[in-house]
Amino acid sequence: MKVSLGRSVKVNNFLTTVHITLIANRNLKKIKARAGEAIKKTSTASSKKAAIDAYVKEME
Protein backbone atom coordinates (compact mmCIF):
# COMPACT_ATOMS: atom_id res chain seq x y z
CA MET A 1 0.00 0.00 0.00
CA LYS A 2 1.38 3.35 -0.96
CA VAL A 3 0.34 6.38 1.04
CA SER A 4 0.88 9.86 -0.32
CA LEU A 5 0.06 13.11 1.39
CA GLY A 6 1.33 15.30 -1.42
CA ARG A 7 4.72 16.65 -2.32
CA SER A 8 6.56 18.80 0.18
CA VAL A 9 6.36 21.74 -2.22
CA LYS A 10 2.55 21.58 -2.17
CA VAL A 11 2.48 21.35 1.61
CA ASN A 12 4.81 24.31 2.03
CA ASN A 13 2.89 26.34 -0.57
CA PHE A 14 -0.29 25.75 1.41
CA LEU A 15 1.42 26.72 4.66
CA THR A 16 2.73 29.90 3.05
CA THR A 17 -0.78 30.74 1.87
CA VAL A 18 -2.18 30.51 5.41
CA HIS A 19 0.83 32.33 6.89
CA ILE A 20 2.27 29.38 8.84
CA THR A 21 6.00 28.67 9.20
CA LEU A 22 7.34 26.25 6.61
CA ILE A 23 8.32 22.71 7.56
CA ALA A 24 11.77 21.35 6.70
CA ASN A 25 11.73 18.54 4.11
CA ARG A 26 13.30 16.00 6.49
CA ASN A 27 10.59 16.75 9.07
CA LEU A 28 7.89 16.38 6.42
CA LYS A 29 9.30 12.97 5.53
CA LYS A 30 9.10 11.91 9.18
CA ILE A 31 5.51 13.16 9.42
CA LYS A 32 4.56 11.34 6.20
CA ALA A 33 6.09 8.10 7.49
CA ARG A 34 4.14 8.31 10.76
CA ALA A 35 0.93 9.20 8.92
CA GLY A 36 1.46 6.31 6.52
CA GLU A 37 1.84 3.89 9.40
CA ALA A 38 -1.32 5.22 11.06
CA ILE A 39 -3.32 4.99 7.83
CA LYS A 40 -2.09 1.46 7.20
CA LYS A 41 -2.95 0.39 10.76
CA THR A 42 -6.44 1.89 10.52
CA SER A 43 -7.16 0.37 7.12
CA THR A 44 -6.03 -3.07 8.31
CA ALA A 45 -8.28 -2.86 11.37
CA SER A 46 -11.18 -1.68 9.20
CA SER A 47 -10.67 -4.54 6.74
CA LYS A 48 -10.57 -7.11 9.54
CA LYS A 49 -13.76 -5.69 11.06
CA ALA A 50 -15.51 -5.74 7.67
CA ALA A 51 -14.45 -9.38 7.14
CA ILE A 52 -15.74 -10.40 10.59
CA ASP A 53 -19.00 -8.52 10.05
CA ALA A 54 -19.48 -10.20 6.65
CA TYR A 55 -18.79 -13.63 8.18
CA VAL A 56 -21.25 -13.04 11.04
CA LYS A 57 -23.92 -11.82 8.62
CA GLU A 58 -23.37 -14.86 6.39
CA MET A 59 -23.74 -17.23 9.35
CA GLU A 60 -27.07 -15.73 10.46
Report pTM.
0.51
Model pLDDT, residue 3: 46
Model pLDDT, residue 9: 73
Model pLDDT, residue 32: 81
pLDDT digits (tens, 9 = 90+) for 8-34: 777 777 778 888 887 787 888 888 888
* Whether 38 contacts 46, CB under 8 Å: no
DSSP helix/strand/coil, 52? helix
Please state the rounded mean pLDDT for residues 46-59. Answer: 94
